[in-house]
Structure 1
Amino acid sequence: MKFTTRRRAAIPAALIALTALTACGQPVPGVGAPDGDKVVITLSAKTWNAGLASLAVSERRGYFADENLNVSFVLLDGATIQAQQVATDNATVGAITPEPVIFGDQPSKRLGLRYFSSFYRKNIYGLRVPANSPIKSLADLRGKRIGAASLGSAAVTNVKVALRDAGIPEKAVNFVAIGTGAQQATALKNRDVDAVALFDTQFQIMENSGIRLRRIAMPKIDELAGGGLAATSANLRKDPALFARIGRAVAKGVVFAQANPKAAIDDLYAAHPDARNPALPPQKARANDTKVLQTRMYTLGVQPGERQWGILKADELQRNIDYMTRAGLITEKVAVNSVFTSELTGQINDFDAAAIQAEAKRAAS
């Protein structure tokens, strides 16, 4: 299936403006079957990291090749830009968090994106404090400083809505931009902030640096869906078998990584050497990244009590629509069935998961 670049007049101006201001990542040479169907997948990341290791597994173990796919990955700084690239057919699929997909489905926007598989089944964002902090609940945050990677982060919006739901004025707390990487740990160690609103793997990286954290519950927010693999509705209708194959190749990597995260990290390093932290001894870097991947598998892996990967449920996505309405992020009605389809779940899981798990157990760890 050939994807061509075209422009949709209905794409929100904010998306186009943001894309113009941000350098889009360039796809690397494809992996998988050299003569397979060309597929471009966008990821919201600046660099390859442990949270993406399951995709490296699909590269290294030939799962993309098995599905006759030639896959190029594009790393982009944010879900909004991912949505724009998928909507204009510059990318085939995006692993996208819900906000831009739901925003773009408002009748006046008509971005036309639809999930065909979950990716982050649960909300990856959260709120945590040092383990010995006196802060026990949202109510204890009055007058406190909350650090986030940037003030425009979805993590900040999550906390603001959680505070509002709890009857706490947004102005009762101060949000502070603390950057990424080591800057986040430094801000907490130096007590520049009292709490941090980040996503799952960032919390684990801080734990790896020696900072013990404790979760602060955010009712309703913690129950949000985390996002999924999205494509345009038109392309899903045109070639559903292609997207089932993409989802199946991704699912195999997830099943492997869940069964043997250490081997998945080895695949990540082999496929993307820059993912390993050169400042640490190799075994320490591997141990740290394994913990990061295990944290990500909590939201990415096959969920407890379920046998299939990539399950999508209307009630889970409806919570995100309701959340965005309360947050003022959307002002028009969005029908949950227009932003997702579960029709491909069975085809995506049409492989021998036990054989993948056995392969993972045989891999060196």
Structure 2
Amino acid sequence: MKLKFKMMIVTILSATLLMAGCGGQQTAAPKAEDYVLKVGYAGSLCEGPIHMAYEKGFFAEEGLKVELVKLAAGGPMFEAVTAGKIEAGFGLMASLIQPLSNGLPVKITTGLHTGCDKVLVPQNSGINTVADLKGKRIGVPSLTSSPVMFAKRALAAAGVGVSEKNLEVEFVVFSNSELPLALQKGAIDAIAANDPVASIAAQEYNLNILLDSAVTAPYHDQYCCVAYVKDTLAKNNPEIAAKYTRAMQKASAYVAQHPEEVAKIQVEKKYVAGNAEFNGKVLKTYNYIPSVSGAYNAFGVTAAELQNVGMLGAAADVPALHKNSFVTLPGVPDTIK
């Protein structure tokens, strides 16, 4: 009986170890060469680095397999990260700051370019400076969008109240297609919008560009768009995150050198709507020099100003948020030109 009992124990232990071994094989992390990274994109003009990293082979050059996932702009992108539908993406840094403060599980890995927000006014409107917007109605695509953040930062710097306690302008929400029509009909006095919507509206409706984050100081030196990865990817697969980041840096530098070609590919491949020639001219106004430190420095300035205008919670620890929102990855250079 003792012998039979011992044999039973050995059999059970062997089966347990075998099952554990099988389970380990099933849950083992995939090898880098087998990993397929899901990258989200929304189809905006300034997302050129994602489009070119895919189309011109920069992802492949890094030995990275990628699945591009088309998403709507704004909130759905963040929901997709949280739900695990994507693991990496491209975002407007100002729009990332409050979600990061609320626990959005991503890490910024590099800055990609400056520019892409504008404030427009009609010709002969009498609005010649930012301070002239005091008491005016400004049309925006949403109350939490990057354009409204840009406008509020500039207004506050000009001494115009934008907080709930001292609101000296009115922000009115319209869809992107309705913004120039609302301005033309006098329902609003100015528009704050992203490109290419803003640049197209300026051309088609003969509008003055009052503010342009690509050329207006000090914003023209501040990175607006960044690459990011899910925090678990950065922690568990830093090499994959680094490959993605380096490919995006290379692609960003490529956009700087070939804006007309990039715009043509974007339209032909249906990443972006519009006229390729016009889009190429807009891309030329952005500073596509990828920079890790550039993004880091811009984050600190932007976060502090957003907290000042009430678009980042007063209780947020800006220095801690600043530090925790970035990750240093192996083999990622500070910049590529």
TM-score (norm 2): 0.73
- Partner residue, 2:197: 202
Aligned residue-pair number: 295
CA contact (8 A) 2:234 2:327 kept: no
Of 118, 135, 150, which residue of structure 1 is paired with 2:111?
118
> 1:51 and 1:96, CA in 2 relative to 1: closer, same or farther beyond 3 A?
closer
1:259 CA drift (Å): 1.4
| Distance (whole Å) between structure 1 residues aligned to residue 100 and residue 276 of structure 2 | 41
Q: Point out the more displaced range, 202-211 or 155-164.
A: 155-164
Distance 1:212 1:100 in 2: 26
Cα 1:172/1:223, change in 2 over 3 Å: farther
Q: Give me the whole-angstrom Cα distance separating, in 1, the residues matched to 2:226 and 2:244.
A: 13
Distance 1:254 1:288, change over 3 A: same
8 Å Cα contact 1:63/1:252 also seen in 2: yes
Give the partner amino acid of 1:232. K
Q: Quick one: structure 1 residues 290 and 104, their matched pair in 2 at CA, closer, same or farther if it must change by over 3 Å? A: closer
Residue aligning to 2:280: 290
The higher radius of gyration belongs to: 2
For residues 74-115 of structure 1, the C-alpha deviation after alignment (integer angstroms, 9 at most, x for no partner) is 333344432333244321112123356433444xx4444211
Q: 1:254 to 1:131 in 2, by over 3 A?
A: farther
Q: Partners of 1:223 and 1:137 in 2: how far apart? A: 20
Counterpart contact for 1:55–1:250, Cα < 8 Å: yes
Equivalent in the alignment of 2:4: none
**Aligned mates of 1:216, 1:49 — CA distance in 2:** 20
Q: Call closer, same or farther: CA 1:68–1:348 in 2, change over 3 Å.
A: farther
CA RMSD, Structure 1 to Structure 2 (Å): 3.2
The counterpart of 2:55, out of the listed 36, 57, 60, is: 60
Q: Does 1:244 align with 2:242?
A: yes
Report the counterpart of residue 69 of structure 2 in structure 1: 74
Aligned partners of 2:50 and 2:90 also within 8 Å: no
Aligned partners of 1:349 and 1:165: how far apart in 2? 30
Residues 105, 111 of structure 1: 8 Å contact kept: yes
Q: Out of 126, 134, 137, which is 1:145 matched to? A: 137
Q: For the residues of structure 1 that align with 2:247 and 2:34, how far apart are their CA atoms?
A: 13
Gaps of 5+ in 1: 5-34, 278-284, 303-307, 354-365
Q: CA separation in 2, counterparts of 1:39 and 1:71? A: 5
Deviation digits for residues 313-356 of structure 1, max 9, x if unmatched?
A: 54321112212322332222141211113545744868xx6xxx
Check the 8 A contact 1:129/1:213 in 2, yes or no: yes
Q: Report the equivalent of 1:86.
A: 81
How many Å separate the matches in 2 of 1:73 and 1:322? 33
Instruction: Give the direction of change, closer, same or farther, for the CA distance of 1:73–1:132 in structure 2 (3 Å limit).
Output: farther
Could you say if the C-alpha distance between residues 59 and 271 of structure 1 is closer, same or farther in structure 2, counting changes exceeding 3 Å?
Answer: farther
Report SS of the residue matched to 2:284. helix
Q: CA deviation at 1:165?
A: 4.8
Aligned AA for 1:263?
A: E
Answer whether contact 2:263 2:277 (CA < 8 A) is retained: no
Q: Which stretch has the larger CA shift, 198-207 or 161-170? A: 161-170
- Counterparts of 1:146 and 1:100 in 2: how far apart (Å)? 19
Structure 2 counterpart SS, 1:226: strand
TM-score (norm 1): 0.68
Q: Secondary structure at the match of 1:96?
A: strand
Question: Which residue matches 1:263?
Answer: 261
- Give the Cα separation in 2 of the matches to 1:344 and 1:316: 22
1:327 aligns with 2:327: no
